[in-house]
Structure 1
């Protein structure tokens, strides 16, 4: 859920910070108070297109920051991991800055990201719906995935089985296409690969050779310092009036003391052990000094070898391991190109077998999708009936014939588009072509009520989707928005008193002029303030005892609905 939103120097907002709760939060206020500006800020926060026009007049930049709390299995974790972003304790902070010079800076949990990355992550957090903004539900390319989400308990395992085979199929098909390039291209490719492989083989690389040579070069380059240091260390221990001599002298006196008094035996033992350890170290230092020998020619050989390895790194990989891996991969390709005809035959045989498997898995997937499409149709019709659209027909149409296997897709053999007919006698049309504002709002709410249980979106925002409705339809819409809020946090900008009455949290947006500048403020309303605001929404201007009584009645109705 969206826990906190901070906005600074954005349009007519100088600075606000507001905390949000779970459930349904309704934002109301006079026209022009800045309600839609809040939505604009949220849209930018999740990767929407920015403009310098959003920066408050006289300021250098606009700043928007949002804190989100995520459930353990939220889809945002996977999306963030793809971009190397860590999420700790379920907290995610998005930040967007827009400067007057046109620059836009985006951060996710403090890490700088591109706008496209911010948009990818933001799409899992907030779903914004406006009166004329269809977004995901109106995007035909998402309808298949929405159906899959609805029937995920059966569809997801079948889809995974299909995709595992499809991955092999796609890889095999690409290999065949590569082998079928024209003869001249194949000859050039084969010559290049053979040259590269020979160059790698001639180098006779050993695993981690560059690291070992670098260490040896460092030792040889610092030979004089190493030798002088070891020699000084040895001389400090060995010889008359040096370390070991003094410790031997001390040990002799301690032996006398221990012979006279047993309590000094422990001290003697410690000093004796130290003496023999140091004596051992002195012997090793002497041996190492005798072994050390500076070979300037060896240093030249190392420099030459490292230079050769670095030349190969520039061509074939950043490490010796990567170069050797590249050599192995092109060796396989050379073998495949050399025996092209036989290899094509093998791959085509494999492709035929994979196609048979894809048909079986694809047909099973299509069967399950059609089964769940019927269940989805029944569920949507139930929701539409509650919104007084019982004459509306909804149907997921399978555009692609599952019996036509000339082209396999990564998501199966199907293409699904949601079709509706809002009036009796009218033909079914794609949902994206429906233009009636009131009907579209109710259609969207019906779909959202169903899919909000399956999509995993953190927050759903409705921006005046209730425009153009009244009476019993308005009450039905209010109840439907509340139902959606049971599964996802909902923020709703509304002019309907019925919707405001259903709010778990009611926020009043107002504006005032201070020192010649307009500023927007947000106030969370208490019970009495909520009655006054709903009364204002009912009456328009003058608040009377009757409108207050009507407002209280709406709140009582809402309370009864919530507890039943």
Structure 2
């Protein structure tokens, strides 16, 4: 969950730091006080599109930091490992984003610089923001299949994985077949080019890692004179009359005589004796090394010429000799395929059709599993909608039912509902009143109906989406009365499994809050800034009263507010 949020120089926010807790937290306040700006800041923290307009006037940059606590089993932890981000022992992760007044974004996760794309990938697995006009996946028809799959994950995971592997094999095989069936003239030109390239590489007679070995030898030849001088100098310092070894030998003889007189010097004697023989052996190795050093300008010229030839090949075919050899191996296979095109074509067509049939079998099995899951989802959604006073609403998951054959799949002559995700397009369809036809979810007109549909779907899908925090930005717009109370209870219900932050203007929702934050505007040194206050029990009564009656708060509205809080406490129990 989101434990701590710090915002600096963001829009009208100077600097605020907010601590969040488990359960339902509501944010209330007058219009324009900065409630949605706080949500906008969280949106930036999880990779939203940045803008210089977010930087507070007179500041060089805006900064947003969010501290999250994680369950070790959360799927985001595997991504942290992949990108080299360490998770603290207390299983927390710190996301930070800075937006400069030049429009640049600087993103960090636990102090490590990451790209905006990486921050977005991580952030959207931690936080899900839903607003009245921005319902993300739930109102995007092309995402409905993904949402269904998350709902049905345990039932379809194995089959879907097998289908995806088959589909990837099929696509690669089909692309290869298309290459073999290209224009005859283009194929011959391709063959001529590949044969020329292959012959050029073969003629060079490259050896694995040859460039590395030649560079090492060139380095030795370049420094051969200095190597001879330094190694020979080291040898002569050790070996010869009045040189190092002779003095160490004298010390060895003296300590041997001393050790005969004092047994306590025996260990020291052995150390000096061993050192002498080790240095004597090292001096012989030095002599052997410098005697083998060659001054060979011709060999150096030969190496430089060979490296130049290899460099030409690397510019064309790869960064290293091994890359060039690997390229030669690949084009050798392609040359063989082009030369024996007809034979390969027949074999590949046969293999492609076999894989296409396997894809269809696995795809149809996946479709059946999805349809069963869709029935379970429909039933669950209907139950939620009844609770939200939409008992006459019909909700169905519609699938593209077109029959697909192996030939259809191979030729792709018409637009097919086939992709790496399966052989379906799925859409959430609703009819909000009896006698009305089913329509796409995104075309439901009423704001209140949209709010309740979103909430019903969210209640069912929240546990399948893996996010740690859910944010509702005025999703309760357009409702009142008993519907408002039902929505309040439903939002609180969702908070059992996820941390929920909710901006609301409904007193019923505010009354259900486990934690209530009041957002206000204050004038300081001639500038407006946003302030956040955590309300006490008494202050909650005042704020809910204001939400009920507007500007003037009476004893009656206070009594009504207290009754709402009592009803909320009963509902929570």
- TM-score (norm. length: structure 1): 0.95
Alpha-carbon deviations, 1:329-374, whole Å to 9, x = none?
1111111111111111111101111122112111111111111111
Q: Following the alignment from structure 1 to structure 2, what is the Cα–Cα distance between the partners of residues 9 and 116?
A: 23
Alpha-carbon deviations, 1:484-541, whole Å to 9, x = none?
2222221110011221122222111011111211110111223232232222222322
Q: Following the alignment from structure 2 to structure 1, what is the Cα–Cα distance between the partners of residues 93 and 443?
A: 36
Q: Is the 1:176–1:347 contact (alpha carbons within 8 Å) kept by the matching residues of 2?
A: yes
Spell out the pairing of 1:256-405 with structure 2 (5 A cutoff): 256-401=257-402
Spell out the pairing of 1:463-542 with structure 2 (5 A cutoff): 463-542=473-552
Spell out the pairing of 1:160-171 with structure 2 (5 A cutoff): 160-171=161-172
The verdict on how the C-alpha distance between 1:262 and 1:223 changes in structure 2, with shifts beyond 3 A counting, is same
Q: Is the 2:160–2:421 contact (alpha carbons within 8 Å) kept by the matching residues of 1?
A: yes
Q: Following the alignment from structure 2 to structure 1, what is the Cα–Cα distance between the partners of residues 80 and 524?
A: 42
* Partner in structure 2 of residue 451 of structure 1: 461
Deviation at 1:124, TM superposition (A): 2.1
Q: Following the alignment from structure 2 to structure 1, what is the Cα–Cα distance between the partners of residues 80 and 190?
A: 39
The verdict on how the C-alpha distance between 1:436 and 1:79 changes in structure 2, with shifts beyond 3 A counting, is farther
Is 1:227 matched with 2:228? yes
Q: Following the alignment from structure 2 to structure 1, what is the Cα–Cα distance between the partners of residues 142 and 115?
A: 24
- Tell me whether 413-422 or 120-129 shows the greater mean CA deviation: 120-129
Is 1:88 matched with 2:87? yes
Q: Is the 2:167–2:359 contact (alpha carbons within 8 Å) kept by the matching residues of 1?
A: yes
Q: Following the alignment from structure 1 to structure 2, what is the Cα–Cα distance between the partners of residues 234 and 526?
A: 85
Q: Is the 1:107–1:113 contact (alpha carbons within 8 Å) kept by the matching residues of 2?
A: yes
Aligned to 1:176, the other structure's residue is in SS state helix
Is 1:124 matched with 2:125? yes
Q: Following the alignment from structure 2 to structure 1, what is the Cα–Cα distance between the partners of residues 61 and 494?
A: 36
Q: Is the 1:4–1:20 contact (alpha carbons within 8 Å) kept by the matching residues of 2?
A: yes
* Partner in structure 1 of residue 59 of structure 2: 59
Aligned to 1:486, the other structure's residue is in SS state coil
* Partner in structure 1 of residue 442 of structure 2: 432
The verdict on how the C-alpha distance between 1:480 and 1:324 changes in structure 2, with shifts beyond 3 A counting, is same
Is 1:68 matched with 2:68? yes
Q: Following the alignment from structure 1 to structure 2, what is the Cα–Cα distance between the partners of residues 69 and 304?
A: 60
| Stretches of structure 1 lacking an aligned partner (at least 5 in a row) | none
Aligned to 2:125, the other structure's residue is in SS state coil
* Partner in structure 2 of residue 209 of structure 1: 210
* Partner in structure 2 of residue 243 of structure 1: 244
Q: Is the 2:448–2:479 contact (alpha carbons within 8 Å) kept by the matching residues of 1?
A: yes
Q: Is the 2:128–2:469 contact (alpha carbons within 8 Å) kept by the matching residues of 1?
A: yes
Q: Following the alignment from structure 1 to structure 2, what is the Cα–Cα distance between the partners of residues 338 and 26?
A: 71
Deviation at 1:78, TM superposition (A): 5.0
Deviation at 1:49, TM superposition (A): 2.8
Q: Is the 1:33–1:511 contact (alpha carbons within 8 Å) kept by the matching residues of 2?
A: yes
Alpha-carbon deviations, 1:216-272, whole Å to 9, x = none?
111111112211111111111111211111111111111211222222222111111
Q: Is the 1:132–1:437 contact (alpha carbons within 8 Å) kept by the matching residues of 2?
A: no
Aligned to 1:233, the other structure's residue is in SS state helix
The verdict on how the C-alpha distance between 1:404 and 1:497 changes in structure 2, with shifts beyond 3 A counting, is farther
Q: Following the alignment from structure 1 to structure 2, what is the Cα–Cα distance between the partners of residues 378 and 313?
A: 63
* Partner in structure 2 of residue 19 of structure 1: 19
Alpha-carbon deviations, 1:454-478, whole Å to 9, x = none?
0112222111111121121111101
Q: Following the alignment from structure 2 to structure 1, what is the Cα–Cα distance between the partners of residues 457 and 58?
A: 44
The verdict on how the C-alpha distance between 1:75 and 1:498 changes in structure 2, with shifts beyond 3 A counting, is same
Aligned to 1:123, the other structure's residue is in SS state helix
Deviation at 1:88, TM superposition (A): 2.1
Q: Following the alignment from structure 1 to structure 2, what is the Cα–Cα distance between the partners of residues 307 and 503?
A: 74
- Tell me whether 534-543 or 98-107 shows the greater mean CA deviation: 98-107
Q: Is the 1:77–1:87 contact (alpha carbons within 8 Å) kept by the matching residues of 2?
A: no
Q: Following the alignment from structure 2 to structure 1, what is the Cα–Cα distance between the partners of residues 277 and 245?
A: 9
* Partner in structure 2 of residue 42 of structure 1: 42
Q: Is the 2:448–2:478 contact (alpha carbons within 8 Å) kept by the matching residues of 1?
A: yes
Q: Is the 2:97–2:105 contact (alpha carbons within 8 Å) kept by the matching residues of 1?
A: yes
Aligned to 2:424, the other structure's residue is in SS state coil
Q: Following the alignment from structure 1 to structure 2, what is the Cα–Cα distance between the partners of residues 78 and 169?
A: 29
| Stretches of structure 2 lacking an aligned partner (at least 5 in a row) | 410-417
Q: Following the alignment from structure 2 to structure 1, what is the Cα–Cα distance between the partners of residues 78 and 308?
A: 42
Q: Following the alignment from structure 1 to structure 2, what is the Cα–Cα distance between the partners of residues 338 and 486?
A: 66
Q: Following the alignment from structure 2 to structure 1, what is the Cα–Cα distance between the partners of residues 68 and 327?
A: 43
- Tell me whether 485-494 or 434-443 shows the greater mean CA deviation: 485-494
* Partner in structure 2 of residue 414 of structure 1: 424
Q: Is the 2:87–2:110 contact (alpha carbons within 8 Å) kept by the matching residues of 1?
A: no
Q: Is the 2:70–2:92 contact (alpha carbons within 8 Å) kept by the matching residues of 1?
A: yes
- TM-score (norm. length: structure 2): 0.93
Deviation at 1:421, TM superposition (A): 0.3
Q: Following the alignment from structure 1 to structure 2, what is the Cα–Cα distance between the partners of residues 206 and 87?
A: 41
The verdict on how the C-alpha distance between 1:136 and 1:350 changes in structure 2, with shifts beyond 3 A counting, is same
Deviation at 1:19, TM superposition (A): 2.1
Deviation at 1:404, TM superposition (A): 5.5
Is 1:178 matched with 2:179? yes
